[in-house]
Amino acid sequence: MDSQHRLPSDTDNGMLLIISGPSGVGKTTITRAIERSIPDAVFSVSATTRQRTEADVEGIDYHFLSEDQFVRRIEADEFLEHAVYAGNRYGTLRAPVEAQLERGRLVILEIDVEGAKNVKAQLPDAFAIFIMPPSEEALLERLRARKREDESVIQRRFEIARREIAEARACNAYDAFIVNDTLDHSIAEALDLVRAQRAARARSADQA
């Protein structure tokens, strides 16, 4: 990195962190806690065609796009990866991720299993964590408790979640699995993993 263009928070220790887990497992809370606890961490804001809910803030949770706008960005090769989840498109924009990695930041992608496999195939150094529910029953309860969707959408997300967990276990894309029994415990476990991983990478970079 050109030292003249460094920002005060720039480091030489860039890392791509993938966080996945079924809908309702608590991964957004865990992801946002990592973002707050690690000073140079940045959350990658995905693009999506799904409907904005009351809880969503444009540009902070997602960039909400129409189908046309999304497809134009695919055609312009603007996505590092994109996938369809529960009938809606989701994608990670390449340019902001590359710019932040270049600055040595910890860039966090909260993406589905399809996206994680795709990113790992392109960038094998990415560190990927999958958040598991304590049980299927607990997951269904959490999906209902957040009162975000109606029962048919909840059932659809629950079915996808079961498939995702099986796929995550089978696919080899994940470096670690965390069971979200309590949020405090899961956040601490995720932070320990990420800090240890970054420290190990910094040590091997020093030795190189």
What one-letter code names the amino acid at 135? S
Q: Supply the Cα-derived Rg of the chain in whole angstroms.
A: 17
Place of tokens 């405090």: 184
**Least distance from C-beta 92 to ligand 5GP, angstroms?**
4
One residue of 43, 70, 85, 174 binding ligand 5GP per CB under 6 A? 85
How far apart CA 118 and CA 80 sit, in angstroms, is 9
Footprint of ligand 5GP on 116-175 (CB under 6 A): none
**Least distance from C-beta 81 to ligand 5GP, angstroms?**
6
Closest CB to ligand 5GP among residues 49, 194: 49
Piece of the chain touching ligand 5GP by CB under 6 A; list 107-115, 135-143, 181-189, 199-207:
107-115
| 115 lies in the site for ligand 5GP, by CB under 6 A | yes
Which residues would be at the binding site for ligand 5GP (CB under 6 A)? 23, 46, 50, 81, 83, 85, 90-92, 110-112, 114-115
